[in-house]
A = this chain, B = another copy of it.
Amino acid sequence: MNNVNSYIKEHKLRFLNELIELLKIPSISADSAYKNDVLKTADEIKISLKKAGCDHVEICKTDGYPIVYGEKIIDKNLPTVLVYGHYDVQPPDPLDLWHSPPFEPVIKETEKHPEGAIFARGACDDKGQMYMHVKALEFMTSTNQLPCNVKFMIEGEEEVGSSNLAIFVKENQDKLKNDVILISDTGMIASDVPSITTGLRGLSYVEVEVTGPNRDLHSGLYGGAVANPINILAKMIASLHDENNHITIPGFYDKVEELSKEERADMAKTPFSLENYKKALDINAVYGEAGYTTNERNSIRPTLDVNGIWGGYTGEGAKTVIASKAYAKISMRLVPHQDWEEITQLFKTHFESIAPDGVTIKVKPHHGGQGYVTPINSIGYQAASKAYKDTFGKTPIPQRSGGSIPIVSLFEQELKSKTILMGFGLDSDAIHSPNEHFGIFNYLKGIETIPLFYKYFTELSK
């Protein structure tokens, strides 16, 4: 592609300001209080796609938040790239840990981002990474260098399970027909170590409720005589891991993909410092499944984590009460071949079976998705690899991510095409955490690299 660098240089400030405006809208899909903000964000995406050169843009209604669809078809005989991203964001809490308000973006320099980074909820996940594709399209169309057809599908429910996107995809297979799906919603190893994500973990997310007595009780008059839902919940949660931190749910590991010695040896080559990892998190030791390294534990192995727990008196001071109910939100990260719906059922059956007399249990599945692996010999992967090589001067390293983009495996199943995960964020960008940020270098590097993917993918498709 010609003049991509000069174009970026010329429009850099506008690229930053447009993203900052987008980040100011609190599009929190998990909290219905922000409904209007989520809808407003969809409208903004529609406008930006139109401006970037799409011939046709529409807001597609669903039973939940809408999907913004846009396309520019230049020649039916040329390949088509389908870009997927999401405009919703994670809830920002705990708010008191943010150094600046989550929806008032500020640019600050950090050790890892000497050129500065934009601090705001959604800066990296996924508004920033999604918007790189909009600006890359703008560059290609305004310089008449778009080498193939492009379709955009930007949803607003990724952080809450994409259930309506799944329906939309199934019902719009022609509209979404493509030769490759391109997503930037993952990370890279370091700003000078490009990588392409070749695997994602699946997800099963449930909420459990333990009910004991029909009302809160005085812990003096009833303490020791009735099942305390909080103690019981703690006991049940504790029993979900054994002394080696293996998950104890019967059948949980039955379909887990076991990697070969060679594959694990390749993984071990990824640059990684356990000391820096511990230092960055202020922990004196890592913790996890016996027999696996840290990088294996958070990528090729399934996990079970409590994401939230609550019950009883949590206010100031002391209240001597036995709560009637206790709750927890529990998520399991799954690896390829584990079916999320089957795992959810295994969890439910097991969790209900370990409840003692004196309490009743409710398990409410929230959402989930399958894991995913993509081969590195595909045209899509090769095109991405060449693009990174051009812009970073290094061949990117294939890596498994511990994260989940549940919809990816559904894309393959319904649209029969592979997904290429070109992530430009860093693990240290604190996505889902207070002070989420996205490096300006990474943002612009994405805008520079993406057009080259189009170029190479079109060439390799001939």
Contact = CB atoms under 8 A, between A and B. Distances in A.
Given A30-B315, A404-B220, A238 B234 contact: yes
A441 interface: no
Interface stretch (A8-16, A55-63, A102-110, A278-286): A278-286
A207 B284 CA distance: 23
B225 A288 contact: yes
Interface string A68-84: 00000000000000000
Nearest to A433: B216
Q: Which of A318, A427, A434 has the most CB of B within 10 A?
A: A318
A281 B97 contact: no
Nearest to A224: B303
A317 interface: yes
Contact of A297 (B224, B284, B433): B224
A311 B312 contact: no
A217 to B, nearest CB: 6
A319 interface: yes
Nearest to A302: B224
A314 B319 contact: no
Contact of A216 (B215, B284, B319, B434): B434
A298 B203 contact: no
A228 interface: yes
A97 to B, nearest CB: 7
A308 B317 contact: no
Interface string A199-223: 0010101010000111111111111
A221 B287 contact: no
A100 interface: no
A431 interface: yes
Nearest to A235: B238
Contacts of A212: 281, 283
State the oligomeric state as a number of copies: 2
Contacts of A324: 97
A322 interface: yes
A405 to B, nearest CB: 9
B308 A323 contact: yes
A213 B288 CA distance: 14
A268 to B, nearest CB: 15
Interface string A295-327: 101100111011111111111111111111011
B312 A306 contact: yes
A267 B349 CA distance: 42
A314 B303 contact: no
Given A220-B201, A315-B93, A358-B285, A309 B234 contact: yes
Nearest to A221: B402
Contact of A308 (B223, B307, B319, B357): B319
Nearest to A316: B31
A283 B358 contact: yes
A445 interface: no
A442 interface: no
Contacts of A24: none
- Which of the listed residues A29, A226, A323 has the most CB atoms from chain B within 10 Å of its own CB? A226
Interface of A: 29-32, 90-91, 93-94, 97, 159-161, 187, 201, 203, 205, 207, 212-228, 230-231, 233-235, 237-239, 241, 281-289, 294-295, 297-298, 301-303, 305-324, 326-329, 331, 333, 356-359, 366-367, 401-404, 427, 430-435
7 contacts: A30-B316, A31-B316, A159-B319, A201-B220, A224-B305, A310-B314, A318-B329
Given A234-B237, A284-B357, 8 more contacts: A30-B315, A93-B315, A215-B435, A219-B307, A219-B333, A226-B281, A231-B306, A287-B356
